[in-house]
Amino acid sequence: MAQLEMCFPPSFFDIMPHLMIHMVDQIRALGPIYLHEMWTYECFMSTLNRYILNRACPKGSMVEAYCTEEIIECCQDYLVDKKGIGLVPSRRTRRLAGKGTKGRKMFIDSGYKEVEAAHVSILHQIEMMAPLIKQHLNIIHAESSGCSEVWVLKEHKKRFSSWLMGQNIEDGTTMDEITLKGPCMGPSAQVTTWQAYDINGYTFYTSAKDRESQC
């Protein structure tokens, strides 16, 4: 190092020249750096230092907090699905994943034409539906040979969904045939509405249900 100081200015001597000179002897004497460095130990001591709540007994605070953390991690990993002894099961336990509690089924009256139009649009985006679309267009052309192409397309969009549901398409065995069967059934006009819903331990009500409980 003294010989280098004769050739280089003081600004040259940052941490890197010291590492190159001293670390070789250190590795030769003690072995690889990671076996005798203090960084890992200092990080762990910093974690233990945050456990200290009673400065009069720092060692006891470290041991108590460390054991508590290990117990909590063990319970989270191995006891989360176990049933407690002597504890009354919560009535919401089976509903934490999300479950409607007060509901009914109803039929869509208003806006169902928009649902049908959206269904026809989806059918035209399915590549496997192309032969059926062509077949239906040929049927309309045969029935109305003197009509314009615009009228044929309009009539096709109006009648294609109902015509497709009457084709009795087989269930099939391949993935393409199974995928084709679902859209051919048409959209359902029946929906389920919920006035109350339980999820993550909380119960949510609609405004109408809230007004009933306030009366």
- Print pLDDT tens along the chain (215 aa): 667 777 777 777 777 777 777 777 878 888 887 777 787 888 888 888 988 988 899 999 999 999 999 998 888 888 767 776 766 666 555 454 555 566 665 656 666 777 778 888 888 888 888 888 888 888 888 888 778 888 888 888 888 888 887 777 776 667 776 777 777 777 777 777 777 777 776 778 888 777 776 65
How many Å apart are CA 8 and CA 14, to the nearest integer?
A: 12
**The tokens 């002597």 sit on which residue?**
86
pLDDT value, residue 67:
93
Cβ–Cβ under 8 Å, residues 142 and 154: no
pLDDT value, residue 125:
83
Cβ–Cβ under 8 Å, residues 172 and 178: yes
pLDDT value, residue 88:
66
